[in-house]
A = this chain, B = another copy of it.
Amino acid sequence: MTDSDNDMKISPVKGTRDFYPEDMAGRNFIIDGWRNVSLRHGFEEYDGPIFEHLELFTVKSGEEIVEQLFHLKDRAGRDLAIRPEITPTLARMINQRVNSLPRPIKWFSAPRLCRSERPQRGRLREFFQWNIDVVGTDDVLADAECIFVAVDYLREIGLGPEDVEVRINSRSLLSDLLIEQDYSEEFLPTIFTILDKRDKQPEDVFEKKVGEIAGDEQRKKWLLELGRAKGKEGFDTVRRLAGERAASIAHLEELEKIFDYLEKFGAADYCMFDMGIVRGLAYYTGPVFEIFDKGKELRAIAGGGRYDDLLQLLGGPKISGVGFGMGDVVLSDVLEARNLLPTDSRSLEFYLIDADPAYFPRVLELVGQLRRTGRNAEFSYARRSLSKQLKAASAANAGYAVIVGKETEEQNAVTVKTLATGEQIQLQLESLTSFGIR
């Protein structure tokens, strides 16, 4: 070994995260919550490989995603890529078993994803993303259930309607409204983009942009009113703007039905209608939604909607689905700002202590016994004084210090000290493994 070897320090890749135990506590809090809440809403977990054949991602995804792919080759020279999202994998897996899977398919996943982009606030090159999907039904009850599971999760981790909100729209409603006003199909993406940026720029910029594309003053007024429609009054506005148009009214009623279901589920307090939500990705065809911190200071916490053609695009049959993705990066920022992200990485029950090194073999036996019966138990490798071991027990955040000494040999008993209160009792050894279990 040379000196230069010794000087070499290799840094982590920019835009990735090291999870030290205190960081891991936060990550597990977020991801365990995703899993628990998904399960209680009747979703089953799936996952695919971290890399796929490159073409799985290039065939369907928008250009933005293709640009962000981490591309690799296998030994035979085949083109592979690390997954930037899991939806193509979901579609591939469903297609592989399309005839045997019972429908609707209610699946969730919490994959690790990578995108080769410039790291910035709320966007990293590696992150985790909760994915919820209901595939195989046109019923908007599924759309409502997806939103409910997201809301239930947010409430579970401590975020109330005063912290976050779900903004809901319908792309089919928006499209039909515009087409009925004689805006051409090809022109819709331009309008979508302007609406999508409505809240990211000053009011007058939005108004100016709408003016540039509206046609005349009357159409500008119409489009501005439409684009600003939100909340309960928004529904009235849209109904008025739609007039007698049957297709638009049908989509509006569909959207109102979703709100009605959300009311029944007890999730409506988080939700509002907002014509400014269109979702960038091309494959959404019906209701769409995004979740933001209240005040919209950060990027979206989650986004999703209904997709009708996705499986077909990936070689499968035409089956409709609805789903969303919620990343861990913006969510962590929201939680951290509210002091809701735990950093305590272990929950130790017992810390075993010898009153004298002579009793250390007995400590090891009791540690073995406790752990083998499923209890969390720790001890000090180094033989130290009783008081130092007690300090170590407190530092390790243990519930109980168990002191092994003369009474252990003579009376088969240990002293158990509850560290939070200082309370001390003598306990017979046969009661130790069940101690503290209610």
Q: Give me the interface of A with B, judged by CB distance under 8 Å.
A: 1, 5-13, 16-21, 24, 27-28, 39-42, 44-53, 55-56, 59, 70-75, 78, 80, 82, 89, 92-93, 95-97, 102, 104, 107, 112, 114, 116, 118, 125-126, 137, 139, 141-142, 148, 152, 155-156, 261, 264-267, 309, 312-315, 345-348, 361, 364-365, 367-369, 371-372, 374-378, 381-382, 395-396
Contact = CB atoms under 8 A, between A and B. Distances in A.
In terms of DSSP, what is the predominant structure of the interface of chain A?
mixed
A139 B381 CA distance: 8
Given A44-B345, A265-B367, A381-B141, A49 B313 contact: no
A325 to B, nearest CB: 18
A143 to B, nearest CB: 11
Contacts of A73: 71
A84 to B, nearest CB: 13
A152 to B, nearest CB: 6
Contact of A112 (B112, B137, B381): B112
A8 to B, nearest CB: 5
B7 A315 contact: yes
- Oligomeric state, in number of copies? 2
Nearest to A9: B315
Given A5-B313, A49-B126, A264-B365, A152 B346 contact: no
A264 B364 contact: yes
B18 A96 contact: yes
Contact of A137 (B6, B55, B348, B381): B381
A8 B91 CA distance: 13
Contacts of A313: 1, 5
Contact of A10 (B44, B59, B372): B59
Given A45-B28, A72-B71, A40 B10 contact: no
B152 A49 contact: no
A347 B39 contact: yes
Closest 10 CB pairs of A and B: A16-B49, A265-B368, A42-B378, A21-B44, A264-B364, A266-B368, A19-B47, A40-B376, A9-B315, A72-B72
A315 B41 contact: no
Contacts of A49: 12-13, 16-18, 126
B47 A114 contact: no
